[in-house]
Structure 1
Amino acid sequence: MNNLVAIDLNLLVVLDALLAEQHVSRAALRLNKSQPAVSHALGRLRLLLDDPLLVRRGGKLLATPFARSLAPELAAVLTQLQALLTLPGFDPATAQRTFRLAMSDYGAALLLPRLTKLLRTEAPLCDLVVSQAGREMMQSQVIEGDIDLALGVFPDGRADVQAQVLFSEDFISVADRASFAGATTCSLADYLARPHILVALNAESTSEIETALGHLGAFRRNAVIVPHWHMAVDLVRGTDLILTVARRIVPVGDQTGGLFVFKPPVDIPSFAFRQIWHQRRDNDPAHIWLRQTVARLLSD
């Protein structure tokens, strides 16, 4: 205990983050500090405590036995000082922050126009960086601390990854109206006889549609495979192709000109569209504001 009492309180907070993350970059992200600042603090801690604290083995940083022994005492000290070390509040009107989000172009089409407009009016000093990746990669980026939020279809998984369902989505099919000659429905036989567009990051992906057809022992030919949801709708115009996608990406009302929009002749389960984040972000006021803002914008 005497070792901890002699250390600057700011260093105690850094030590707690380093022991929890065992990773300098993630500890820096957790503390909203730069990586060099955390590395410098680690150097000071090593001198003060006369122990390396974190050692590199097999490409990873691992806590030393002495560092592990400090963890209970450190937790007790920080619990007693919690009132003094509470994160400051977040005022979007004056805060400077970079928010990093990952999502597909489906999520981007639904969220980004509204989120960008809101940030420019309510949080003008906050910047936004958006990336795209597969589901597994986005979840990994959340765990590693590379992004703040990931939006998409994610399975229930790790206890340290939090999730919030933003809405439930189902599927709809789209074709060129002229190619269906006034039809109001599409039979399964006609559906399977047509070539299809598959939206997937790669040709090896198994979609919810293929899974549903597989339960019927049916198979469709995917004549065009593209990685982007939004542009896929335009590919059906003037062709015999059928596209089956999430309903919210399909034009409605007067915007459907020339399109035949119909219910797929196969039962495809709906899916939950979620935002996920690492639990280290749970109590960050800026992150709480971001999560609540995203949920509000997508609640329509």
Structure 2
Amino acid sequence: MTFIASVIAKEGVAIVADSFGTTLEHSLNEKTFLDYIAEANDKNNIPIQELIELFEKKPSYTRNYVDKLFRFSKYSAITFTGAVYINGKEIKEIVKSISANMDTENDAHNAKELEVVLTEFCSHLKAEVIEHAQTRNLTPTDLIFSNFNLSTNTPQIYVIKISAIDKDNFNPEAEDLITFAEQSHLGIVTDGQNNFVERLIFGSLVEKIGSVKDELIKHVIEVLNLEGEQKDKLVDSIQDFEFLQKTVLDDMFSIKFRQLSLQEALDLAALLIKIVMDIQVYTEKIPTVGGLIRLAVIHEERGFEWISGHKLVPSNII
């Protein structure tokens, strides 16, 4: 569990990440168990399989100082959420190794098209994922790749997604194993424990519109008993329903951010993670965002710069 964010500014990108690493374990809530027993028809013969199905995967332990924000090249940085280890290595070490293999400190690297860089990066990452999948499963893992493009003089944000892996049903040729897509148009890109912040920034309909359309289609088809060509026509019509699109866009851009300075972007990134950390105090789950907060920027002239969270500090033990 974590929270990461990148915020675009006029002269660069501001980046933030927490440092909690959370272990997930299967656990059984007492109320869930007692409710099940109360509703069981035969309380003397409880099926073992049904008891097993009551267990849920929940955060159970959090450790600090997992590095989730690191420099990739002079003008790019990576943050991640999901698995801390791939193929027995910390993601930080994998990125460091890929950076060395791609010779990102060479000035020629900064002249490459970013999609070419990302394609090469993902091919290296895919090799690690494939080796990992020989013996282990993998939880879905996202990387936010923040960059300042010198040739176009524009900040860019891409999201790299690694699909969940079941080692017993693994297809190394799957097209969606590792994908990447540009998200620069959003201006603010968050991931991890970001539901509350995403709703605050983009409204509540962004993630739900697909479900709304599907349920609407299903309901109308059942009520009118549509089949064949009529059914296809309805599906096409609702999928292209302009009213829903306008409703989502109006909701999504209810808060219109102006063009930010790099200092303002940095302050906003810090505010977003502070909101998440403060809100989680009032929820039932254990805190999964926090610890040492790392802040960095990518400046259009100076490149990657640490702001805080990267230096050792005097111990508060003594």
TM-score range, shorter chain: under 0.3
Task: Using CA pairs under 8 Å that are at least 6 residues apart, name the structure with larger relative contact order, 1 or 2.
Answer: 2
Q: Which has the larger radius of gyration?
A: 1
Give the alignment's TM-score, normalised by structure 2: 0.19
Give the alignment's TM-score, normalised by structure 1: 0.20
